Structure 1
């Protein structure tokens, strides 16, 4: 049996997302869930790891490490991907065999990234509730749940006949032809929610149901951040200039009442 090589250890607990003060556009809150890290040493890939991670590295002395933030794409844990809108982290790190080096990588959005944001802070919302809805979209600032700013969005469902459908009203042309486009938001919920993409213009209208956000147990519910990859849908609907995000709620079975809190809705694109 061959002897196992001695290794150095690289310990990475989490990513920190900083504000880019050179950004050309408002970035909103720095909420994120960079739960993965792609690791390169001296130009060679060491793989992707879920955070927190303790990574064995063969080598010693000073080496150049380049770390890239990764996400769970579309809320599907088996689908992990490099997040395309933020900078890499580069550092020269001294490795010592049988010893551990701990680092906390930082990143920030590229300065040219575009954001369309609804954070429930302005007097008017860039969300339109459909006429057939009989539940309401409100704001709340309950300190037990408030995490960013002064308000979060709130949908309360009290009856099996309750439904609510709402759509963003950013009215902005998103890039197509395979450009990266993400819908992101933070949520804390006991009810599910169906996301869709509404595409319209030039006499056409399309509704593409997309990802169902699952409910959380009321006793264990926490704020989560989700990344929904809209590239394929937006590029496929290339004859319609406008693409908006839609959110639909109906009371889940076996529940007498439920809620869905939402904040920091963003469409992010180059």
Structure 2
């Protein structure tokens, strides 16, 4: 019985965190209010994935203020995180951004503020579309085009009630998805939107020599 007790104590001592011994259990604090992109695109970065000297320190919803058992000069690497499909329980790093890396000085029982700036990775292929004049939509009294909006030159404003169902179709310039990455590579359809009712996002899939398939992708809540 005594041998077992001594063995467990030894395991406990050897498994102590190295940072625990240098800080005597007193943490330093890091504050991250937001992660910004170095280009003029809209973003929805919700989380910071934090690594210090190569060690994963956790995922923190922004704005964040959290303790770490480190002090002195450290290398901090921050990855921008998102809610995959907008679902809070599915948090991932955004695969198209580089991480932000910096060397900072942490002080025990003090807060260090970090303002990470991330950049798009090279050779990222994408299609950006809006409601500019090159598209043809059937606008009516319940569906109007607006200009000078917060996300660019054009947008669309929809007024709906129970008797209307509005569907947006790209007619003149259908989007081509012929070169979508395969075998699990990350591919995102991203929308800038504001809505006070749920709506469905879908697509039409055209296989050679087969009828067009209408595919519902995701119901989006207000």
Measured against the shorter chain, the TM-score band is: 0.7 to 0.9
Q: Is the 8 A contact 1:134 1:164 kept in 2?
A: no
1:35 aligns with 2:46: yes
1:190 aligns with 2:196: yes
* Alpha carbons of structure 1 residues 109 and 135: separation in structure 2 relative to 1, 3 Å: farther
Count of residues in Structure 1 that have an aligned counterpart in Structure 2: 194
Following TM superposition, where does structure 1 have runs of at least 4 consecutive aligned residues deviating by more than 4 angstroms?
A: 133-137
Structure-1-length-normalised TM-score: 0.66
Q: What do the CA deviations read for 1:191-237 (whole angstroms, capped 9, x no partner)?
A: 2211123221212333332221113xxxxxxxxxxxxxxxxxxxxxx
**In 2, distance between residues paired with 1:98 and 1:193?**
48
2:133 corresponds to which of 107, 117, 123? 123
**In 1, distance between residues paired with 2:188 and 2:200?**
16
Structure ranking higher in strand proportion: 1
Structure ranking higher in helix proportion: 2
2:119 corresponds to which of 83, 105, 108? 108
Q: Is the 8 A contact 1:8 1:57 kept in 2?
A: yes
1:139 aligns with 2:149: no
What is the CA-CA distance between 1:177 and the residue it aligns to?
2.1
| Unaligned ranges ≥5, structure 2 | 1-23
Q: Which structure has the larger Rg?
A: 2
The aligned residue for residue 67 of structure 1 is: 78
**In 1, distance between residues paired with 2:57 and 2:72?**
17
The aligned residue for residue 154 of structure 2 is: 151
Corresponding residue SS for 1:152: strand
**In 2, distance between residues paired with 1:171 and 1:40?**
38
**In 1, distance between residues paired with 2:115 and 2:79?**
12
* Alpha carbons of structure 1 residues 117 and 136: separation in structure 2 relative to 1, 3 Å: farther
Bigger relative CO (Cα 8 Å, ≥ 6 apart): 1
| Unaligned ranges ≥5, structure 1 | 20-28, 216-270
**In 2, distance between residues paired with 1:148 and 1:209?**
26
